[in-house]
Amino acid sequence: MIISSFNDTICAPATAFGSGAISIVRVSGPDALSIADKVIKLRKGTLSNADGYTLHYGVVHDGADVLDEVLAMVFKAPHSYTGEDSVEISCHASSYIVQRIMFLLIDAGARAAEPGEFTKRAFVNGKMDLAQSEAVADLIASDSKASHRIAFNQLRGVYSEELQKMRSKLLEITSLMELELDFSEEDVQFADRTELRKLTDEACALISSLAGTFRLGNAIKNGVPVAIAGAVNSGKSTLLNALVGEDRAIVSDIAGTTRDTIEDTVTIGTTLFRFIDTAGIRDASETIEKLGIERTFKKISQADILLAVLDLTLPTEQIKADANIILASTDLSAQQVIFVGNKADKKGSNKNVKDILGFVSSTDNQQYTPLFIEISALTGSGVPQLKELLEKTQLNRIDGTSSVLVSNARHYAELTAALQGLKRVREALDTSLSTELIAQDLRSALSHLGSITGEFTTDQILSQIFSHFCIGK
Q: What is the CATH architecture assignment of 137-213+407-453? A: Up-down Bundle (1.20)
**Residues 234, 257 contacting (CB under 8 angstroms):** no
pLDDT at 77: 95
CATH number for the region 10-127 comes to: 3.30.1360.120
> How sure is the predictor about 252, in pLDDT bands with cuts at 50, 70 and 90?
very low
CA gyration radius for the chain? 29
Output 257 or 120, whichever has higher pLDDT: 120
Greatest Cα pair distance, the chain, in angstroms, is 88
Distance CA 358, CA 366 (A): 12
Q: Is the peptide bond before 78 cis (omega within 30 degrees of 0)?
A: yes
Domain boundaries, the chain: 10-127, 137-213+407-453, 221-399
How far, in Å, CA of 331 to CA of 29, rounded? Answer: 53
Q: Average pLDDT of 309-329?
A: 83
Q: Is the pLDDT of residue 315 over 90?
A: no
pLDDT confidence of residue 256: 46
Distance, in Å, from the CA atom of 353 to the CA atom of 344, rounded to the nearest integer, reads 10
Intrachain domains 137-213+407-453 and 221-399 with the same fold: no
CA dihedral 11, 13, 15, 21 (to 10 degrees): 120
Q: Is the pLDDT of residue 219 over 80?
A: yes
Query: Is the predicted pLDDT of residue 251 greater than 50, yes or no?
Result: no
Q: Which is more confident, 447 or 180? A: 447
In CATH, what class is 221-399? alpha beta
Q: Which residues contact 104 (CB under 8 A, 6 or more apart)?
A: 38, 39, 60, 62, 67
**Would you state the pLDDT for residue 316?**
80
Mean pLDDT within 233-260: 67
Q: Using 50, 70 and 90 to split pLDDT, how confident is the model at 1?
A: very low
Burial zone of 387 (CB within 10 Å; 0-12 exposed, 13-18 middle, 19+ buried): middle
pLDDT score of 152: 87
Q: How confident is the model at residue 231 (pLDDT cuts 50, 70, 90)?
A: confident
Q: Lowest mean pLDDT: which of 76-85, 182-191, 335-344, 458-467? A: 182-191
More confident residue, 257 or 71: 71
Output the average pLDDT for the chain: 82
Rounded to 5 degrees, φ, ψ at 125 are -85, 5
Handedness of CA 362, 366, 368, 371 (dihedral sign): positive
Residue 463 CB partners (closer than 8 Å, separation 6+): none
Q: Residue 412's pLDDT is what?
A: 93
- Is the distance from CB of 205 to CB of 434 less than 8 angstroms? no
Choice among 53-57, 168-172, 210-214, 455-459 with the minimum mean pLDDT: 455-459
**pLDDT digit string, tens, across residues 32-87:** 999 999 999 999 999 999 999 999 999 999 999 999 999 999 999 999 999 999 99
